[in-house]
Structure 1
Amino acid sequence: MSLIDHLSRPNLPILTGDGVVLRLPRRSDFAAWRSLREESRSFLTPWEPVWTPDELTWPSFRRRIARYYQEAREGSGYSFFVFDDAGTTLLGGVSVGHVRRGVAQSCILGYWMGERFAGKGHMRRAVDTVKLFAFGVEGLHRIEAACLPRNQRSIRLLERCGFSNEGHLRGYLKIAGRWEDHCLYALLQEEWQGSAGNVRQQLPA
């Protein structure tokens, strides 16, 4: 970890779930992130906003990291990289974004997975770990997630993680250059089944 990472990172726990480790990205993750995103480009781009011309460059990644750290410090969002259980191989990413406090106590779940790691249960375990963080640590009441109606892989993931379909959102997000309808899924704290003991929270040294 670089000195800049050490001085600027928020006091955020590393989350260890069932076979996965989640932590805030670091500058030292750039090479692994760029490699995984590049090799998974055709797999990811149909489900994401249009990639910018500098999407995979170091300056773009540096700005991304700064935004992640700022959101974490403010408590408005938490973007984790997902690693294998050894914490060495980058698998993808998962985020708890747009955190709303007050009467809402809610957030929006986002995620992406490298193509060669997809379909192996890694993201299900990562989402289960994030649920423990959102409900058990942050004290949120509701996690929302939106996915394209044709993204059956994402729909299956959310349903396996206990999310319920709450409706259809018209022209909700601009994906791959087009305003797309989305299915809205949500999970409430009282529906959540699990124990905070399933995830070990380790404050970075």
Structure 2
Amino acid sequence: MLRLPQRRDYDDWYRLRRTSQDFLRPFEPRWSELDLARRVYSMRVRHARQEAEAGTDYTFFIFLPDRRKEVLVGGITLSNIRRRAAQFVNLGYWMGQEYAGQGLMSEAVSVTLPFIFQTLDLHRVHAAFLPHNLASRRVLEKNGFVEEGYAKHYLQINGRWEDHVLMGLTREHWETWRLGMRFQHWVA
């Protein structure tokens, strides 16, 4: 399940981010204990709601259903939505260490794509990953993304400007790819 973050998610978010800090460090911008403060989190929740209402960015938390309550496992961000001639969005994501490698992010991205192409009516999705991050490559390839390039010093990760592999997915390719996947399941 994906939904906008809420203030009541703070304790679960804090625990997941804190316990995954060493795991996430090589893949994210530098952050400190101050970034985990409740006040900073509350500001992020407020900004996420304002951006979603404006239609410019969407921040989603990824939850697994549980008998007692939802279990936060990671997040997806749709940022820099462009309209007019461009019609694209940037896709980013993170997963808590204890949930990595279970196919959850691939599934979360697959749930996000209909929102991008059908609800937001965008034409293209961009994503980038560090060249050595093979898990991220698999997430994107499993969802029909294709490699489109290589960007030197593209994003600042853990305090350093790092090269990234650029991936993209157009609505046309997604629709064709999705039909092919359905056919494979039907034949199997």
In the TM superposition, residue 68 of structure 1 has moved relative to its aligned partner by 0.6
Between the aligned partners of 1:69 and 1:181, the Cα distance in structure 2 is 31
Between the aligned partners of 1:148 and 1:26, the Cα distance in structure 2 is 30
Secondary structure of 1:192's aligned partner: helix
2:23 to 31, 43, 47: 43
Secondary structure of 1:104's aligned partner: coil
Gaps of 5+ in 2: 180-188
1:31 and 2:11 are equivalent in the alignment: yes
The residue number in structure 2 matching 1:164 is 146
- The more displaced of 93-102 and 48-57 is 48-57
TM-score normalised according to structure 2 size:
0.90
In the TM superposition, residue 85 of structure 1 has moved relative to its aligned partner by 3.4
Query: Higher helix fraction: Structure 1 or Structure 2?
Result: 2
1:71 to 37, 44, 51: 51
The residue number in structure 1 matching 2:185 is none
Secondary structure of 2:135's aligned partner: helix
Between the aligned partners of 2:34 and 2:43, the Cα distance in structure 1 is 11
1:99 and 2:77 are equivalent in the alignment: no
What amino acid sits opposite 2:103 in the alignment?
A: G
The residue number in structure 1 matching 2:169 is 187
Listed one character per residue, the Cα deviations across residues 159-203 of structure 1 (whole Å, up to 9, x for unaligned) are: 1111000001111111000001111000000011348xxxxxxxx
Match runs of 1:104-115 below 5 Å: 104-115=86-97
The residue number in structure 2 matching 1:85 is 65
Q: State percent identity of aligned pairs.
A: 43
- The more displaced of 29-38 and 155-164 is 155-164
Point out 4+ residue stretches in structure 1 off by more than 4 angstroms.
none
Greater relative contact order (Cα < 8 A, sep 6+)? 1
TM-score normalised according to structure 1 size:
0.83
The residue number in structure 2 matching 1:136 is 118
